[in-house]
Amino acid sequence: MKKVLSASLACFAAITMMSCGTGKKLKAANAEVARLDSLNNSLNQQISGLKDNVNDLNAQKDALNANLNTARQGMANQQKQMQALQGTLQSQRKAMEDLRTKIADALNKFKSDEVQVTYKDGLVYVSLQDKLLFKSGSAVLDDRGKEALGTVASVLNQDTSIKIMVLGHTDSVAFKKSYKDNWQLSTERANTIVRILRDSYSVDPARLTAAGRSKYAPVADNATPEGRASNRRTEIILTPDLSEVWNLVNASTQQ
């Protein structure tokens, strides 16, 4: 009987020990499962964050590509506008050079020391010496001067887009008879010419501007008689219509 009891106790003890070992392993296994679950959750969060980063980067890339395409289109448009501007400027230059040739040919019966026609920086300058236009100290136009103006007007009336500035000049010798000073004399001479162009040769007055520079824009040395004679002149300065040029410039700056 004692042997049976001892065997039973030994068996119970063995079962108890086995049960305790299994519980520890189960607890350890559960802990490992929990750790792995936590690690898995952490990795999933990292993956989700990386996906968000990828989406953000893709969105940034799309935005940059859109900006790049816009910039390329803008550059292409500006290049077209620059080409159009260059074409317009070249056309205007040719037109003004042709105008210079027409006026010079029309005035070829006058002497070279009476009339000079030049092209410079997009403008045409018709320089008429005072000996062709006015007597000394006078703003009354001579007949030959009126004839020269009629010749110029016949060309200018063919293109009404050309603006006309008449600019009077004197030498440095003071003049105090009929006029207060040379500034007044140069201005009155310019006024005389624009009135002749308007009244005698039907030039649109909206195209005309008159001004005087007195002695302050010499082309030669006033210390010599020859220099003073060169400085006594009236310039007719011809300007093309620049509205198309300004439209192209404004369009390019608004890009």
Listing DSSP states for 83-113 in one string gives HHHHHHHHHHHHHHHHHHHHHHHHTTTS-TT
**CA-to-CA distance for 44 and 55, rounded, in angstroms?**
16
Q: What is the pLDDT of residue 3?
A: 56
In the chain, how many domains are there?
1
Contacts of 108 (CB under 8 A, 6+ apart): none
Q: What is the pLDDT of residue 168?
A: 98
The DSSP 8-state label assigned to residue 179 in this structure reads S
Q: What is the pLDDT of residue 35?
A: 86
Q: What is the pLDDT of residue 86?
A: 84
Residue numbers of the chain with a pLDDT score lower than 50: none
Q: What is the pLDDT of residue 250?
A: 73
Q: What is the pLDDT of residue 193?
A: 98
Q: What CATH number does residue 126 fall under?
A: 3.30.1330.60
Q: What is the pLDDT of residue 12?
A: 53
Angle at 51 between CA 49 and CA 52, to 5 degrees: 65
Domain that holds residue 3: 1-255
Q: What is the pLDDT of residue 49?
A: 85
